[in-house]
Structure 1
Amino acid sequence: MANEVRTTKVSQKFNTVDDVADLIDEIKQKEDSLETLVLEGNSYGIEPLKAIGEALTMCHQVKHLMLNDMFISRLKTEIPEALRLLFGGIMSSEAKIITLNLNDNAIGPVTMPQLLPFLESKSCESLRILRLNNCGLGIRGGQMLSNVLSRLENLQELIIGRNRLEIDGVRDICQSLSNLSHLEILELPQNGTKGDGIVGLTQALASNKNLKVLNLNDNVLKGMDKLLADTVQGLKYLEVLNFGDCLLKTSGCISLMSAIQRVCTTNGVCYLREIILNGNEIGKNAVPSIKATIEQILKSRAHDEIELKIDLSCNNLGEDLVEDLRAQFADSINLIVEDDEGSADEQDDDEPIDLAGDENVNLNQSNNGDVLDVEQLIIQYDSNFQNLKKLAEDFFLVSSKGFRNDLNNISDRSKIEVEAIIKVGLKYQLKNHGFDFINELLIVCGLLKSEDKKSKTYSSNDLRGPVLALAFSLKFLNDINQKKCIRVFLKKVMDDEKYDTVRSNLLSFVYSF
């Protein structure tokens, strides 16, 4: 291409300026006609990239940087400086970058201080495509990246798989994506995320209704049936859905199929062309729903000329049902059902997802991904009510997870859930003159010792969130004696150094309500 410069060599190690002399000459010859720079598949040292960066200062029209796999066998200590020099040249040129591909480079947290200023610069104001697949970011690198993602207002494609982001990294990144609205492609495969990470993802997708590609391959989606179904139902332009190796199980598959059917019927048209559900331990009970969904997609798909691909390999459908599926759909779709592990007895796989080690948190969310209002939450907590002790434990989990260090307070979402929990708990108080629920709350806040020796001890936990939530709960108590009781216990902890960072907010709650 006339407007492209690329290295003609592959798997070469460039250590000196002379090693890239031809490449630099070509960059200088093209100057403002250069739009695409391709450096992939080689190994660049600091000096070569410094020279390339200097040459790029005169290339004001560069739009696409294909920098994937360009540090083969380089030390992690070399990469930050090399990228700083390269990015410095581009920022000096004031070029407006549209595509930044850094896949398969050992960036990690150590290089983020060099990448983030570039992403924050005017050069990336128009960035639409960001690819950071297999860059070793880890949780810390993901959290650092999340600080700038929300500023990339034009971002349409984010590929950030194989980075060991786990729960915290994905959650923080998705919080940033909630502030965007133009995403069309989101790929987060093989990041070891589940629970809160997936909850954060669904919230982000509620703001990005035009998504066309969603790839969560090889993460844990077990127990997220309703949340994921509600999310998929809102993505009416979705073309590719990859939930392979995600432990969806039979119930998850059925919920997903129902959501896809609702997309077809509600919108009257379906854009899906690829559904990947391999390796999900999907059993025979899901087959009727799969059949009905395929038929619905074929009936309402937007483009008849595009072949529909569905991969159900490595599940537990059973030989007879696999053959039945092939007989019915092999001529109309690209159906892949290989290495089926045979039908097994269906088991109840609707157990709740583990969000924090051995605890479960209430996943209250509306169909559009927004947090439900108080009245809706009250209905849900009321319908799932077991006992006051369990409700107090929900209070502990919601307030603990909702504590924000940056604000030294609990989040707005937590306040809404705390309000619902308190109102349901007060409804079920039947003994001890209305103090049985208050006692349970004091216990989970570590302010009162339980008489039940089998009860969990909370005093060793970080209790800033629960104590703040307890103080906030004063707002919803009408009984003067209940309020006095809680204030007495809260005032006892005011001088405890554990609560130094939250003391001002704690005082505000105590004396406001």
Structure 2
Amino acid sequence: MASDDVANLADSLAKTQVDESELSYKGQGLKLDNAQSVEKMVKAIEEFDGLRALRLEGNTIGVEAAQTIAKALQKKSDLQCCHWSDMFTGRLRAEIPPALNSLGDALITAGARLKVLDLSDNAFGPDGVKGIEKLLKSTACHTLQELGRHCCILAAALTVCHKESSALGAPLQLKVFIAGRNRLENDGATALAQAFQLIGSLEEVHMPQNGINHPGVTALATAMQHNPQLRVLNLNDNTFTKRGAIAMAEALKHLRNVQVINFGDCLVRSEGASAIAETLREGLPILKELNLSFGEITEEAALEVARSVQHKDQFEKLDLNGNSLGEEGCENLREVMEKMNMADKLGSLSDDEGEPEEDDDEEEEDDDDDDDEDVEEEEEEEEEEEEEEGEGEEEKSELNQFSTPPSAPRTPDVSTFLSFPSPDKLLRLGAKRSFLIQQQVDVSDVSKTVEAFLKISSVYKEDDAEVKSAVLESIDAVLCKAFLTPSFQGLSFMSSLLVMLGLLKVQTFSAFRPGLKTELICLLMDFTYSFSFCDATRILFLSKENKNKIICSSILLPRIMSSTILESITMHLHAFP
């Protein structure tokens, strides 16, 4: 779901109309390493009078090539739109900052006034962001309206850009912000929230799948109140819990122009959904779409949400799929929508997880309590660290308050990682991470083993060698422990894995995350080629043509696995999109 949202958003940016003033090399797959490789492109740029948009996405550009292109851009003062997403594939991270610096300096030299800067789908990390920091703080970005990228450094640069542009009498009017699948987590979200609150002109915010928990969600909620023209708020696949959802519901009471709310896969839970329903009854008069899918919402709260949209004249779609309504609850929800003459506005309920058991309710409350304890512990530790540091240090600058963390993050334990997994938390477990995770996972419980496998898999990054290796080592350790345990139910493990991936339909199943399948395929491919999993047999189970490329995936399974299970995996994975 979140992956589809990000893809659609990127495509939306790509379709920005600039008439005949655009020069496009979009998606040509060019490998541009040196000056010679960009001769034709440079000539085209130089000869293009009134160039307003340059599309370089879908190519791979080296340092020398970027420097050569930059020289041609130094005279293009009319340039307004730079669509530069996905243009460093296969490049070393060390190459990216100088390449971006060259291009950014050229825009500054040219005196360009940008409206669109899209650098999404460039996995260049904090160092790469530093390559555009100078550009973002320059007058070239004072007119920026659409921005795709991430991180705390970017938040600091946006803040400086806004203040400097305001001093010149033309404040930054950023309207669209997109940062999907960037693992901003709470620190990044909080830093950006401060920038958003200052800017105040946002109309669309898209931050799906960023590992943000309720502290970050609460910070964003506060910031949204200061953006009265906000129309679209997409925080799909983050972890609100009831605290974050209630904070966001309160913030939405201050907004009148919101048309689309996407809090799917956000665990808003029943109390959070009820709070959102209350906000809907009181305000949001022109709301068109509401997505609260896969949020562990029960029947009573779901019915509250349904009734709250009754008098929204422009309302078009309500998504409550994947919650905990049960068959009777789903039917009651349909009846309520039908009585309001809004049956056609209700989305599918095919993935409903059934009524929660009492243990599930207790577990939900425990999870929220754990969240509270984690925050209190973090606050106490921060206070202790501040006392130890003393009062002798002065603030260096307003920029450093954003870009430099006040103290080093504490080392997470395994339970923290498994509760809210992220690449950073996995790496910070240290060299013994695989052993620590192996000891933590109770392989006597098949469901817990599957859940641990999927949570570790969820932080897998194909383009980050360190994270990739850490994920593979950790999974190898867990599965070795499991399959070498005589009492471990291997067949049950495989069946549960298929169920939690949503590949097998079971009445009481709990799907892990809809966006995980592609990541799992990539992980299994690397797992096969990188590790010798116990005394295992390499089995090729999937070979499929997918548009422009062949995906050939393998998995290592113990010899005890039956051919029936392997055939089942093959059959279901052939249905992957």
With normalisation by structure 1, the TM-score equals 0.64
Is the CA contact 2:173–2:201 (under 8 Å) kept in the aligned structure 1?
A: yes
Q: Does the alignment pair 1:315 with 2:323?
A: yes
| Residues 143-292 of structure 1 mapped to structure 2, 5 A cutoff | 143-150=152-159, 151-152=161-162, 153-224=172-243, 225-264=245-284, 270-292=285-307
State the partner residue of 2:34. 16
Is the CA contact 2:22–2:51 (under 8 Å) kept in the aligned structure 1?
A: yes
CA distance in structure 1 between the partners assigned to 2:86 and 2:262 by the alignment: 25
Give the count of matched residue pairs: 359
CA distance in structure 2 between the partners assigned to 1:129 and 1:245 by the alignment: 26
Local SS of the residue matching 2:48: helix
Q: Does the alignment pair 1:341 with 2:341?
A: no
CA distance in structure 1 between the partners assigned to 2:388 and 2:121 by the alignment: 33
Local SS of the residue matching 1:69: coil
State the partner residue of 1:86. 103
Matching residue's letter, 2:197: S
Is the CA contact 1:195–1:355 (under 8 Å) kept in the aligned structure 2?
A: no
CA distance in structure 1 between the partners assigned to 2:319 and 2:84 by the alignment: 32
Matching residue's letter, 1:311: D
Cα RMSD (Å) of the superposition?
3.0
Matching residue's letter, 1:235: L
CA distance in structure 2 between the partners assigned to 1:401 and 1:249 by the alignment: 34
Matching residue's letter, 1:319: E
Q: Does the alignment pair 1:117 with 2:138?
A: no
CA distance in structure 1 between the partners assigned to 2:378 and 2:82 by the alignment: 48
CA gap 1:58/1:359 in 2 versus in 1, 3 angstroms: closer
State the partner residue of 2:333. 325
CA gap 1:404/1:81 in 2 versus in 1, 3 angstroms: farther
CA distance in structure 2 between the partners assigned to 1:221 and 1:189 by the alignment: 12
CA gap 1:246/1:341 in 2 versus in 1, 3 angstroms: same
Greater shift, 57-66 or 2-11, is seen at: 2-11
CA gap 1:169/1:118 in 2 versus in 1, 3 angstroms: same
Match of 2:54 among 37, 40, 51: 37
Local SS of the residue matching 1:100: strand
CA distance in structure 1 between the partners assigned to 2:26 and 2:302 by the alignment: 51
CA distance in structure 2 between the partners assigned to 1:355 and 1:103 by the alignment: 34
| Residues 434-445 of structure 1 mapped to structure 2, 5 A cutoff | none
| Residues 61-100 of structure 1 mapped to structure 2, 5 A cutoff | 61-100=78-117
CA gap 1:53/1:119 in 2 versus in 1, 3 angstroms: same
State the partner residue of 1:57. 74
CA gap 1:313/1:409 in 2 versus in 1, 3 angstroms: farther
Deviation of 1:230 (Å): 0.7
CA distance in structure 2 between the partners assigned to 1:240 and 1:333 by the alignment: 14
Is the CA contact 2:27–2:57 (under 8 Å) kept in the aligned structure 1?
A: no
Deviation of 1:331 (Å): 4.7
Whose radius of gyration is greater, 1 or 2? Answer: 1
CA gap 1:402/1:359 in 2 versus in 1, 3 angstroms: farther
Local SS of the residue matching 1:65: strand
CA gap 1:226/1:10 in 2 versus in 1, 3 angstroms: same
CA gap 1:341/1:404 in 2 versus in 1, 3 angstroms: farther
CA distance in structure 2 between the partners assigned to 1:244 and 1:404 by the alignment: 42
CA distance in structure 2 between the partners assigned to 1:400 and 1:260 by the alignment: 42
State the partner residue of 1:511. none
CA distance in structure 2 between the partners assigned to 1:401 and 1:236 by the alignment: 42
Matching residue's letter, 1:344: P
Local SS of the residue matching 2:93: coil
CA distance in structure 2 between the partners assigned to 1:394 and 1:109 by the alignment: 24
Local SS of the residue matching 2:213: coil
Match of 1:4 among 22, 25, 28: 22
CA distance in structure 2 between the partners assigned to 1:240 and 1:317 by the alignment: 24
Matching residue's letter, 1:114: G
CA distance in structure 2 between the partners assigned to 1:358 and 1:214 by the alignment: 28
Identity fraction in percent? 29
Is the CA contact 1:354–1:360 (under 8 Å) kept in the aligned structure 2?
A: no
CA gap 1:407/1:196 in 2 versus in 1, 3 angstroms: farther
CA distance in structure 2 between the partners assigned to 1:24 and 1:197 by the alignment: 43
CA gap 1:223/1:351 in 2 versus in 1, 3 angstroms: farther
Deviation of 1:124 (Å): 0.5
Is the CA contact 2:321–2:347 (under 8 Å) kept in the aligned structure 1?
A: no
**Per-residue deviation, residues 434-483 of structure 1 (Å, max 9, x unmatched):** xxxxxxxxxxxxxxxxxxxxxxxxxxxxxxxxxxxxxxxxxxxxxxxxxx
CA distance in structure 1 between the partners assigned to 2:254 and 2:55 by the alignment: 37
**Per-residue deviation, residues 336-393 of structure 1 (Å, max 9, x unmatched):** 32311112247365568468783455xxxxxxxxxxxxxxxxxxxxxxxxxxxxxxx9
